[in-house]
Structure 1
Amino acid sequence: MSGTEEAGRTTARPVAVAAHWSARTPVLSGSLLADAGALRTYTAEAEKLLGDLPAKPGRDPGQQQLATEVIDDQRRLRSAFLELHAERVYEELTGGLREHRTLSELVTAASEAFPGLTPTETQMAAERACATQADKDGREIDQGLFFHWVLRSPQAGPHLMQALLRPTRRARSLLGEFDRTGSLDLGTVRLERVDRAAHLTLCNGRFLNAEDNQLADDLETAVDLALLDDRVEVGVLRGGKMTHPRYQGRRVFCAGINLVDLHQGRISFVDFLLRRELGHLHKLIRGVRVDGAWPRALVEKPWVAAVDSFAIGGGMQVLFAVDHVVAAADSYFSLPAAQEGIVPGMANLRLTALAGGRLSRQVILSGRKLWAREPEAGAVCDEVVDPKMMDASIEAAVARLASPAVVPNRHMINVAEEPVDHLRAYAAEFALEQALRLYSADVIDKVDRFSAGTSRERRTGSGS
């Protein structure tokens, strides 16, 4: 038998199996126990079939078609299962709503308690081992599907939103040290208490403060510590001085998501894309949840953001969550969602509230860049100052926001401007849409081309 004939038979057999496979999708009964069993059996057979195929980079077109159909069939079943049982599943995972779990803890626990519902640790480790995003099967989409239905639930969703406002374990472990020293180097974020303000300086200098998994963890830790420290009255967010050749020695606020990391599959859906929205960005608005705190369970403080050079993508999104933005006159803001292909977090919700639908469409859909000096930039920043006056303007803003009446009034503004249930409904849709975008063909093509261009620039020493 020739190699061509063998390859033809290898391709034909999976396609034939696929036709038989699709016909066996179970019908759910509405019983959690019975439906969980059906899900477990069905997905186990699906995984066995996928396991007989080569890894994604080695599949021929027929094998990839079969893999896609099997994966999609599983997702349809998972979605149907969660539509019926999301609340019951969440209750079981949280001990009847008595326990508070992180996002990553929830999807891991779900994979153990309800086999086939979310990817296992072994499956996720295999995905992380892939050389590029394009080589993955996109198991994070199943995590997005899980959170889509949990956040939609009128009982599970609010419980999860509140749970994610609790301080991280890392922050709690570092609180004593920050209390004693007044400063911490967290890796990509430096935290320093100066008089009554906590200064959070982004220090991912080689990458123009681009966002990645590590920055999300460091920034949430720093936000927690600033909120928990009784001596801090106001938080300040600013970019540090760069080591990047093009911006050597200059301050930069944030360059948005690290597209090289995204190309190489190192941007986590759960630990970055979803966590940043429901973690530190939500805490900037709502505060941090502290057991026994009175008169409110949430400890809130006002925040200032100081923008030097630019606030791109996720950097611009930070501005929507703070109380006062000081921008250098030569800085700009942008949300290059159309270029990157992903959803710019909560910007579609928050920029629309601040600037209206027309300007939001120009910025998000058409990639319009807003320069700080433009009148339209007033929807994003409060002060535009000479770059030499940034330090003095930040200090003055801190003094204004340290007034005792600021916290209750910002609380009421945020209640009126963004009710929690309104945010939760958006977050439920975002969880699924962003997970799908993360593995869409156009996004993978764009980050591949960006990464190739970055590699060429590094070889020629031109920078980016």
Structure 2
Amino acid sequence: MTLPQPARAADRPAPSGDLAADAAALAALCADGERLLAALPAPADRDAAASRQAARVHETCRDARHAFLDHHAETVYDLLTARRTRRPRLAELARTAAVRFPGLVPGRDLLAEEAGRLQAHKEGREIDQGIFFGAVLRAPRAGTHLIETMLRPAPGSAALLDGFRRTGTVDLPTVRLERRGPAAHLTFHNGHCLNAEDNRLIADLETAVDLALLDDTVHVGVLRGGRVTHSRHAGRRVFSAGINLKDLHAGAISYVDFLLGRELGYVHKIARGLLTGAPGWRGPLVSKPWIAAVDAFAIGGGMQLLLVVDRVIAAEGALLGLPAADEGIVPGLANLRLPRLTGARTARQIILSGRRLTAGEPDAALVCDETVPAEEVGTAVERAVGELAVPAVAANRRMLALAQEPLDVFRAYLAEFAVVQAARIHSPDVLAKVERRWSRTGSGT
């Protein structure tokens, strides 16, 4: 079957600057693209020629989306948020954009079509979402508003606050939150996959971080991995194995809620604080010091967490690493944050070459504040809680965050990350690496 070719970028008129006309042109172009894709076999069944055809269609539509947003990102965002009086989170913003501007981002039907597919068998709709969020974050007013929206308590957190204040505990599916004295202890319980991060853990961690920051009796947060049930390390405490590659292979890692939402959500709340919206001269930002207790290893996303906390206590011999070169994806904001701690040369070795650090060696001391025997980690944590619970610490760590990572620097990095990470999770080299690991081990951890 011979299919018509998508329009070449050079043959398409540039956006006129008129929002309605440009939106209509984009919708028509993308509708034509979807008809072309629908006439092809499903991604898993395409031969080389059909795959090239699909790639040309996607490239044409993505160029058009980028050009449209380059002209209209701020205006589009204002329309979607009623001139920034509404605060939709990422997923809701994307859903609203799909309805208001057809073709700009994938709608519910296209996302539902992708939902049950392996990552390697998807069309790559997340790339279209990445183009949208990258443009929004690149726009100063819109990007700042979206960042502030994601710093507010997540839906459902407030409903659990009274219970946490009353009982001092909350048990979420993958996280246990427990108040002990002035500290809130967040323990990861995703033990079947070595406390690797998946959609459920990301959501639970944001809720737990919200509660720790909202409870006025909590002065310090503590992050620690619970004991795992995975056969290789059964019964041991493990901090984190990073992203759950089994879920990535299965297409079950959400770009919006995990890969982008993680950075704008709980990790950023640990780094910068929680926006409560409460009026007053002190401002609406609640910031508290955080401690990470590293047992066994902190890999990938686990090591990324160490870059935003105020005290890292590691068991002797614990491994730290960012396997970006091996996995092929971007390690969150580590590229921005790690060089501040280790210097540029060591950061490049860790990120670009996969170098691992071992707690106790000199370079690991650039990331870990204290290294102790495994059986003394708990004692060291309690000592650190006592040191960091004093009132001046929270004020000073907030000012450090402002100095080290100004909001506009964070926004500019996230604008590029949103696009690059969306492309990376659909890149042939990443898909091949995930498939090889799956074929070799039958799991992603």
Q: If the length of structure 2 is used for normalisation, what is the TM-score?
A: 0.98
Q: CA deviation at 1:21?
A: 6.8
Aligned to 1:247, what secondary structure does the other structure show? Answer: coil
Counterparts in 2 of 1:10-159, with a 5 A limit? 10=1, 13-14=2-3, 17-18=4-5, 25-130=12-117, 132-159=118-145
Query: Hey, what does 1:363 align to over in structure 2?
Result: 350
8 A contact 1:25–1:42 mirrored in 2? no
Query: Hey, what does 1:176 align to over in structure 2?
Result: 162
What letter is aligned with 1:196? P
Query: Hey, what does 2:248 align to over in structure 1?
Result: 262
Q: Residues of 2 paired with 1:396 and 1:290: CA distance?
A: 30
Query: Hey, what does 1:352 align to over in structure 2?
Result: 339
Identity between Structure 1 and Structure 2 (%): 54
Pair 297,454 (structure 1): closer, same or farther in 2 beyond 3 Å: same
Which moved further from structure 2: 138-147 or 59-68? 59-68
- The one of 178, 192, 195 equivalent to 2:181 is 195
8 A contact 1:209–1:252 mirrored in 2? yes
What letter is aligned with 2:406? P
Q: Please give the per-residue CA displacement for 1:314-341, whole angstroms capped at 9, x wherever unaligned.
A: 0000000111110011211000000000
Q: Please give the per-residue CA displacement for 1:173-207, whole angstroms capped at 9, x wherever unaligned.
A: 21122122211111111111111110000000010
Query: Hey, what does 1:439 align to over in structure 2?
Result: 426
Q: Residues of 1 paired with 2:272 and 2:310: CA distance?
A: 12
Aligned to 2:353, what secondary structure does the other structure show? Answer: coil
Query: Hey, what does 1:274 align to over in structure 2?
Result: 260
Q: CA deviation at 1:61?
A: 2.2
Q: Please give the per-residue CA displacement for 1:136-165, whole angstroms capped at 9, x wherever unaligned.
A: 010000101011111010111111111110
Q: Which 5+ residue runs of structure 1 have no aligned equivalent?
A: 1-9
What letter is aligned with 1:350? R
Counterparts in 2 of 1:322-337, with a 5 A limit? 322-337=309-324
8 A contact 2:98–2:105 mirrored in 1? yes
Note the aligned Cα RMSD (angstroms).
1.3
8 A contact 1:260–1:450 mirrored in 2? no
Aligned to 2:153, what secondary structure does the other structure show? Answer: coil
Q: CA deviation at 1:443?
A: 0.1
Q: CA deviation at 1:26?
A: 3.9
Aligned to 1:235, what secondary structure does the other structure show? Answer: strand
What letter is aligned with 1:188? T
Q: CA deviation at 1:60?
A: 2.4
8 A contact 1:305–1:324 mirrored in 2? yes
Residue 203 of structure 2 is aligned to residue 212 of structure 1: no
Aligned to 1:77, what secondary structure does the other structure show? Answer: helix
Q: Which 5+ residue runs of structure 2 have no aligned equivalent?
A: none
Q: CA deviation at 1:48?
A: 1.4
Q: CA deviation at 1:393?
A: 0.4
What letter is aligned with 1:174? L
Query: Hey, what does 2:363 align to over in structure 1?
Result: 376
Q: Residues of 2 paired with 1:366 and 1:49: CA distance?
A: 41
Query: Hey, what does 1:243 align to over in structure 2?
Result: 229
Q: Residues of 2 paired with 1:170 and 1:216: CA distance?
A: 14
Residue 206 of structure 2 is aligned to residue 224 of structure 1: no
Q: If the length of structure 1 is used for normalisation, what is the TM-score?
A: 0.94
Aligned to 1:327, what secondary structure does the other structure show? Answer: strand
Residue 273 of structure 2 is aligned to residue 287 of structure 1: yes
8 A contact 1:26–1:38 mirrored in 2? no
What letter is aligned with 2:148? Q
What letter is aligned with 1:421? D
Q: Residues of 2 paired with 1:110 and 1:118: CA distance?
A: 7
Q: CA deviation at 1:69?
A: 0.6
Q: Residues of 2 paired with 1:331 and 1:83: CA distance?
A: 46
Q: Residues of 2 paired with 1:166 and 1:328: CA distance?
A: 34
8 A contact 1:25–1:73 mirrored in 2? no
Q: CA deviation at 1:27?
A: 2.8
Q: Residues of 1 paired with 2:403 and 2:102: CA distance?
A: 41
Residue 297 of structure 2 is aligned to residue 318 of structure 1: no
Q: CA deviation at 1:133?
A: 0.6
Q: Residues of 1 paired with 2:173 and 2:279: CA distance?
A: 30
